[in-house]
Chains A and B, each alone.
Chain A
Amino acid sequence: MIAYTTLLLFFIGIFSSIKVGVKVDKALSFLTFASLFLVFAGFCDAMSSPVSHTFSFVWNANPESTMKFDIISNHYNYWLIFPCFILTMLSSLNGLFFRYEERRSAYISVLIFNLIALIILITSNNFVQLLSALFVVDILSVFMIKNVDAYRRYMLLNILADIVLFTVLAVINCRVASLDIRQIVLYRNIGMHQDFVALAGLTAVFAKFGFFLFQIGVMDLKKIRFHRMMNVLFLSSPLASMILLLKFNALWRTSAYFTAYLDLVCILTLVWGFLGSICADNFKAKVIYWQMSFWALFVELLRFHGFIWFSGFTFLFLEMYVICMWLYLLYYFGRRRVSMRQIKSMPLINKKEIAYILLMIIATIAALANTLTILYNNMNRYYIWTFAALFMLSLSAVLNQLLLHRNTKIISNVNEMPVKYPVFAELMLLCAFLLQDWHYAEPSVWASAVVFALLCAFNPIAKMEFVYGIDTLQNKDIFGRIYHILIKSLRLCGRFFWLLIDRIFVEKFVLALLISAINNSLRFFRRLHKSRLGGGFVAIVSLIALLYYSYYQAGGKQ
């Protein structure tokens, strides 16, 4: 039962977050991982059970509506949670072997709490639970990023996306008068402003994915450590937004603009991701661009399958994670240099390991192609293969640049990096798991692997290395600039209003008029009291007018 798993995870997370010394921390993190593994084993065992359970309790009884906290255990939710769980496990496991965290157990606890939030998000049945879980995922991403400079724009975009989603859900709630997500079908029938709901909802989801126009947040992640960046890209807001898409697509699809908007943004994201991965000098930025393209492909594939999750998507998700892990190892053996020019200038010492990584990347690409073949189903295969081809082209170009076009004359006398055999073993096992359906592979899959290997050796795009030296291209943050101008124009607008309305209209006109009226009245009454003929005349006329008015007000009797 998922609720039971969640409870166990919660206790493990609490246990793991205990602050301990450095030596105990290592033991604690091992213990945490072991517990996590046991819970995962139990989860996998429960996955095979066809029985559905619902854990539910009322968390806020309000006259308007009753809010329930639901954790629904069914086959669909199990399969959706499965990749999140496995990725959390792998990230925790890698944390044990790489000494990149001062407090490993604390970091693992963040991953576990993130997993809990994702589970609550996946199993949620009402808007409030959904938004709450979504917000927890956003907040935990701050702990994952742990760098103010890197999460500033990322968080700002995510929180604004949350507010937009809040608005969308408020619009739905106003028509349906229910917090139950399953009731959105009613909105589809009776609801108004369906285009607004679809477009605003999709925009929020795109912002959380970090798709084209909203990529500034995720691009800042290149400033943080590689493993943290990977965890955010795979397990945080993008994954949460995919879950949102799975939950609300039925509603949003009613808009005539849904498909067009989705396709447009996905294609632009793919193109932007492809260009970025070719042009960026920063290796981490390249990984982010690939990840952007991957999510765009993923969303399109989901659309082709009616937004229904099944095992093929789990495999695809894991394959991308494995590719990123191999790239991480490449980065590791490049002595954690981020600039492509710097990595290339390092001597190729861990040759065996790098050759092995290359082979494994090719194997994973084959697995990826195999999954894509399964996923392409009856739809237009060229469309999908274009996505895949661009991805393969840019990835192979980078590998080609790193391994073949080397310039090692600058730095020498560098020691070998220690090889992390457990990580290699773990990734190998994962590759074997992903290649389990290999015997069903079509010739096109074999061809993909061969083409990719050839592209790694001979790639025309790899010769575009000169772009790494163009500082304008590397440092110019065009979209950041656009957002800056947007905010600045809004601020200018506010300043303009303040000057025009507050200062000029209210202060200089209304107030001045008021003060002048008071002064003139005072002057008028003062003059009335002076012994002048005019003043006396006005006073007498005013008195007569007052008497006349009073007389008629009283009915002309007094």
Chain B
Amino acid sequence: MTDIFPLLLLLPLLGCLFILFAKKNDNNSFHVVLFTLLSNLAVIVRLLTQINRDNNDLQSFHIAYSWLESKGIELVMDANLFSLLVLLGIYVAFIIAVVGLTPQQRKNKSQMLLGLYFVWNVTGLLCANDMVSFYIFFAGMLIPLFLLIGLYGNIKKNSTLYLFFAFNYAGILCLLTAMLFVYKYHQGNVELQDIALIKMPAGAAVVVWTSVCMAFISRIPIWPFHYWISSINSGLRSSLVYVMTNMLPLTGLYGFLRFWQITIPKGILPFVPVVEIFGIMTMLFIALIGLSHKDFLQKLFSYNTVYYLLFLLTTIMLPEAYIINIAYSLITFLIVNSSLTVLDLWAENACEENNCDYRGILAYMPRLAVIFAFFVLVAVGLPLSAMFWNNFVLISAFFRTSFTQGLLMMIAICIISTALLYELFIMRDATNKNPVIEIEDISDTKVAFLMAVIVFLFVSFFNPLWFAF
């Protein structure tokens, strides 16, 4: 069963090695990244076909490696249905982001290398089953991200960049603190599901769990921590870097999913309602900001935040049974997010090249317009993908828990949906269309690729795991 599981972690590293020796200013590194991502996607699909979905077998693939035996550190990796599903979404999102790069960006070796290294870290994080390896990958993914944002982030204020780095470092330090405490009381590395079983004083437990929560919250754009991520996002014009930045909240969310589901000590339980209130208020607040922004990518960031917070609150407030619904929703969410980023960047590039107005740009590019509209409608949550049905289940469960909270969430979703639809109609507005200007629509290859993504999403509406037969 586990024979191909190690490939999941090895292939991105091999890809990085290949890129290191690739020529500069060539498409070789781009091809290596694409090949690696596709190969790993095939591995994920293969693993999904082997998994037992009926009983939601959470320990299907497992490998362990003794690193420092004298210190009791054994690295344990495993993949369950949830992590494989999220990985599937991540890989498809990255493939879309890579395909969406401009010809110049594709030749950028460092961007390709760092991008693939980031993917390796995310893969590792989602497969890590012990505290040390979880920490390594959790911290490790920041290196390529910092470098890429520093190089291609187009950040106008240095203070924003420094604060982004400082803030994320603080998150890592929090997790490190928690890890050291755990190490002290357990006298060695520990598997994530066993952390709750470690006997430690009540005060220490509160420190551990508060640190863990702070580490993950630092990644999720919950108020007032959303500010840094949104500031960084506004300057990004590379689809790959944008998608990478948007994966950052996913790692925080995943952290919560792994830790929160185990058990929460009583010491921090009083803070849970605070997180819930802040989460819902941020959803409303960000949704309103999204409506007020004029840039589509800013709106998309607001949309991402609203949905990440929805998933976070699902993790905190709802029973573990809903974890699989989050996974199915996340697949669509990640793919749609990446696709919309790429499509918007294509539209913006077309505007810049042809010196035309962004308003009504889709009127010049009918094929792009249709595909764009499809993804916006999926994002809004209409019955076109697995997200619709799974969101329905999640929202229903929220209403069961608290009607007011569920209603506020739906209001936030409604506002952000209006923002996206409004922007779509602005982009399709043909009132000021200049008949003289002719803009080349997206190529047949790109259309074919995106149509494949659309089919993938649409069929998932009927059966979310249709590809794993």
Q: Give chain A's interface residues, CB within 8 Å of chain B.
A: 59-60, 62-65, 67, 127-128, 131-132, 135, 139, 148-149, 152, 155-156, 159-160, 162-164, 166-167, 169-171, 173-175, 192-193, 196, 487, 490-495, 497-498, 501-502, 505-507, 510-511, 515
Contacts and interface: CB of A to CB of B under 8 A. Distances in A.
A159 B393 CA distance: 19
Interface stretch (B34-42, B87-95, B209-217, B420-428): B420-428
B396 A156 contact: no
A163 B410 contact: yes
Given A148-B425, A494-B289, A59 B462 contact: yes
B291 A156 contact: no
Contact of B292 (A171, A498, A511): A498
Interface string B98-129: 00000000000000000000000000000000
A-side binding surface: helix, strand, loop or mixed? helix
A522 to B, nearest CB: 14
The 5 closest A-B pairs by CB, nearest first: A494-B292, A494-B288, A174-B399, A174-B400, A132-B383
B74 to A, nearest CB: 32
B227 A64 contact: no
A131 B461 CA distance: 13
A487 B422 contact: yes
A173 B389 CA distance: 12
Interface string B400-430: 1001001100100111011001100100111
A207 to B, nearest CB: 12
B277 interface: no
B392 A149 contact: no
Contacts of A491: 288, 291-292
A171 B399 contact: yes
B417 A159 contact: yes
Contacts of A505: 224
B4 interface: no
A166 B392 contact: yes
B51 interface: no
Given A63-B321, A148-B363, A169-B392, A156 B400 contact: no
A127 B464 CA distance: 18
A357 to B, nearest CB: 36
B198 interface: no
B431 interface: yes
12 contacts: A60-B464, A135-B382, A148-B363, A148-B429, A149-B431, A162-B382, A173-B392, A174-B400, A487-B418, A487-B422, A492-B292, A515-B159
B290 interface: yes
A170 B392 contact: yes
A166 B381 contact: yes
A426 to B, nearest CB: 35
Nearest to A162: B382
A156 B425 contact: yes
B55 to A, nearest CB: 10
B289 A497 contact: yes
A44 B417 CA distance: 42
Contacts of B430: 148-149
Contact of B163 (A67, A487, A502, A511): A511
Contacts of A64: 321, 325, 393
Nearest to B230: A502
Most buried by A among B289, B422, B462: B289
B324 A63 contact: yes
B395 A60 contact: no
Given A128-B383, A491-B292, A163 B396 contact: no
Q: Classify chain B: how many residues form its interface, as a range.
A: 35 or more
B397 A174 contact: yes
A518 B413 CA distance: 38
A342 to B, nearest CB: 24
A160 B389 contact: no
B380 interface: yes
B285 interface: yes
Given A160-B417, A163-B380, A170 B395 contact: yes
B463 interface: yes
Nearest to A193: B403
Contacts of A148: 363, 425, 428-430
Interface string B163-192: 100000000000000000000000000000
B-side binding surface: helix, strand, loop or mixed? helix
Given A132-B383, A173-B392, A497-B285, A156 B422 contact: yes
Contact of B389 (A60, A63, A152): A60
A156 B417 CA distance: 10
Nearest to B430: A148
B91 to A, nearest CB: 24
Given A128-B383, A148-B425, A171 B403 contact: yes
A64 B326 CA distance: 13
Contact of A67 (B377, B389, B406): B389
B291 A131 contact: no
Given A59-B462, A164-B414, A492-B292, 6 more contacts: A149-B431, A170-B406, A174-B400, A175-B400, A497-B288, A498-B292
Nearest to B292: A494
Nearest to B294: A491
B224 A490 contact: no
Contacts of B415: 490
Contacts of A59: 462-463
B436 to A, nearest CB: 20
A163 B381 contact: yes
Contacts of A170: 392, 395-396, 399, 406, 410
Contact of A163 (B223, B293, B403, B414): B414
A199 to B, nearest CB: 13
A167 B410 contact: yes
A132 B291 CA distance: 27
Given A506-B224, A511-B163, A131 B422 contact: no
Contacts of A507: 227
Interface in B302-338: 321, 324-325
A159 B377 CA distance: 9
A160 B418 CA distance: 8
Contacts of B464: 60
A166 B227 CA distance: 31
B289 A498 contact: yes
B381 A62 contact: no
Contacts of B325: 64
A193 B384 CA distance: 29
A63 B464 CA distance: 13
Contact of A131 (B380, B383, B399, B463): B383
A506 B321 contact: no
A117 B363 CA distance: 28
Nearest to A130: B383
B421 A174 contact: no
A328 B400 CA distance: 51
A83 B367 CA distance: 36
A106 B104 CA distance: 42
B396 A174 contact: yes
Given A162-B382, A170-B406, A128 B396 contact: no
B421 A156 contact: yes
A523 B413 CA distance: 47
A131 B384 CA distance: 11
B28 to A, nearest CB: 41
A171 B289 CA distance: 27
Nearest to B226: A502
Contacts of A60: 389, 462-464
A494 B421 contact: no
A501 B400 contact: no
A164 B395 CA distance: 12
B324 A490 contact: no
Contact of A502 (B56, B227, B290, B389): B227
Nearest to A510: B224
A506 B288 CA distance: 17
Interface in B373-389: 377, 380-384, 388-389
Nearest to A134: B383
Given A163-B410, A192-B403, A511-B163, A152 B425 contact: yes
